[in-house]
Amino acid sequence: MVQHERDCTFIILHLTQIMTSTEFRKAAHELVDWMADYMDNVGDYPVKPDIKPGDIKVQLPSSAPEQGEEFQSIFSDFNNIILPGITHWQHPQFAAYFPSGTSGPSVLAEMLSSTMGAQCMIWLTSPSAEELEERMMEWVRDMLGLPKEFIGVIQDSSSSSTLVALLTAREAHTHYAINKAGFEGKGKFRVYTSEQAHSSVDKGVKIAGFGIENLVKIEVDDSFAIIPDALESAIKNDLEAGYIPLCVVSTIGTTSSTAVDPVRAIGEICAKYKCWHHIDASYSGAALLIPSMRWMSDGVELADSFVFNPHKWMLTNFDCSAYFVKDKKALINTFSILPEYLKTPQDHLVNNYRDWSIPLGRRFRALKLWFVIRSYGVDGLRKIIEDHINIGQWLKKEIEKERDFEILAPVPVNLICFRYHPAGMTNEEELNRINTILLEGLNQTGKILLTQTKLNGKYTVRFVSGNSNTSLEEVKKSWDMITDFARKIKI
């Protein structure tokens, strides 16, 4: 026997079953009860825990247990240690960031998916997963009114989807030469995006090897949308200076204010200068379920790729990012890799999604989309999103009625950007200071969670009415809390 091979005769004796199916059934029933209660009572928790950095870790043993523990003991620690440190994203007063929605059908699908433990890297490793994903992406494409030529794949996040788009643009432009031989002698590529674009574009540009100095941030107009003339000038200047304009990332629904870039005008500029056009509709994309909201995606047929996250606003729990691309071959040529151990007899007949994204291993994410879409129906989902938009528009009008509050950006969907502005106060620094007090003070109460941004240098409170438990009644409560708190700030 060579030295690194072990005699396994005795090891077999140690293979004990940690949790029998009987024990699992009992624990699972208990957990399902807990989960249903949580869904009913999530509003009773503080939205954000009142703890300091390190408060949770200090309660956890510094090394792993040598002996296995009973489920009850683990679950009791979950309740006593972990739960008090959770931020409750499904709390009805969670109006921060963009939501990370969920729903009963989505959770049920995740339970099945975890139970089967399916790893869906290629068709053969779960034909149902691959074929369901293909069908779900067709459903989602049509639900959003996207062009039929778009082919979809589920990624983990918009950040990954945007990175995938940047890498595909790079490879398609250079006929896959950078993948083969690296950047040397290929020139300097430029990527363009709005001053208001999400930081995932910056991250993607860094990872794709372009260098952050080659990300050109384009000026925006009063509605925080890209100015097409400014984009075209930047491209022309770069061409004159010897750069290669490669890709424009536009946004339908920026993170700060849900600004909508003029997708058609950008698409036309991209066509003129042979640039890849990627659209980031990470949050607001869900609103395209409503035909009257499709003004936001006018010109989408000119785009090369598009991403939207069902895991934000379409009741599908994290993670599930729908990425669409027109040129499937370019995507696959960029990412494909075929070692002997992954070859299968069906390779020429099927989609092997390992070649459509960065990781090899993939979760069975299509199952939760299937459960969600079938449970609510397209009409049900559309109505929920429409309600969320109407609630946002209601809040905007309420804010406009108050003389001591002001709206700081247009509200195309349901993110309201506002600030407290007491009469006679003109000093911007002072306004920034009292709005910081407002936001931090409100968050400290544990009854509501808001986040901030800066628009034109103004500290801006963001309120998003798109979480799965949003209702008009709850938003009214939030608005009362905001006005009460603001008017008690000592000026």
Ligand X SMILES: Cc1ncc(COP(=O)(O)O)c(C=O)c1O
State the residues that interact with ligand X by CB under 6 A.
98, 157-159, 198, 200, 251, 253-255, 280, 282-283, 309, 321
CA distance 474 to 487: 20
Q: Which residues contact 220 (CB under 8 A, 6 or more apart)?
A: 194, 195, 196, 226, 227, 259
Q: Which residue, 37 or 195, is less far from ligand X as judged by CB?
A: 195
**166 vs 431, beta carbon nearer ligand X:** 166
d(CA 261, CA 279): 9
Q: Is 274 left (phi over 0), alpha (psi -120 to 50) or beta?
A: left
Cβ distance to ligand X smaller for residue 126 or 460: 460
> C-beta of 160: minimal distance to ligand X in Å?
7
- Residue linked to tokens 């997708």: 263
Closer Cβ to ligand X, 318 or 370, answer by number = 318
**Residue 225 or 486: which CB sits closer to ligand X?**
225
Tokens of 143: 């639900």
What's the closest the beta carbon of residue 9 comes to ligand X, in angstroms? 49
List, in sequence order, every residue forming a beta bridge with 452; answer none if it has no partner.
461
Q: Could you tell me the smallest distance in angstroms from the CB atom of residue 197 to ligand X?
A: 7
In this structure, what token pair is assigned to residue 147? 């062009």
CA-nearest of 326, 323, 337, 304 to 179 is 337
Shortest distance in whole angstroms from residue 157 CB to ligand X = 3
Integer-rounded Cα Rg, in Å, for the chain is 25
* Burial annotation 23-54 (CB, 10 A radius, 16+ → b, else e): eeeebeeeeeeeeeeeeeebbebbbbbeeeee
Token pair in block for residue 12 = 């077999």
CB of 297 to ligand X, least distance (A): 14
Give me the least distance between CB of 101 and ligand X, in Å please: 13
Q: Helix 328-335 and helix 158-173: axis angle, to 10°?
A: 90
Q: How is residue 339 written in tokens?
A: 């070692």
Closer CB to ligand X, 98 or 210, in the complex: 98
Task: Give 391's contacts (C-beta < 8 A, 6+ positions apart).
Answer: 414, 465, 470, 471, 472, 475
Answer yes or no: are the C-beta atoms of 60 and 274 closer than 8 Å. no
- 259 versus 431: smaller Cβ distance to ligand X: 259
- In the complex, the smallest distance separating the C-beta of residue 204 from ligand X, rounded to whole angstroms, is 10
Find tokens 């946004």 and name the residue: 251
Which residue, 48 or 312, has its beta carbon nearer to ligand X? 312
Considering beta carbons, is residue 368 or 421 the nearer one to ligand X? 368
**Could you tell me the smallest distance in angstroms from the CB atom of residue 484 to ligand X?**
29
The span from the CA of 406 to the CA of 469, in Å, is 26
The one-letter amino acid code at 162 reads T
- Residue 313 vs 479, nearer CB to ligand X: 313
For 48-129, strand residue ranges (E) read none
> 6: number of CA atoms within 13 Å, CB side?
5
CB of 316 to ligand X, least distance (A): 12
Q: Which is nearer to ligand X, 93 or 158 (CB)?
A: 158
Q: How far is the CB of 365 from ligand X (least distance, A)?
A: 13
Question: Least distance to ligand X from the beta carbon of 319, Å?
Answer: 7
Q: What residues pair up with 260 in beta bridges, in sequence order?
A: 252
Tracing tokens 């200076």 back to the chain, one arrives at 241
- Whether residue 327 is preceded by a cis peptide bond, meaning omega within 30 degrees of 0, is no
If you search the block for the tokens 């349901």, which residue do you land on?
Answer: 414
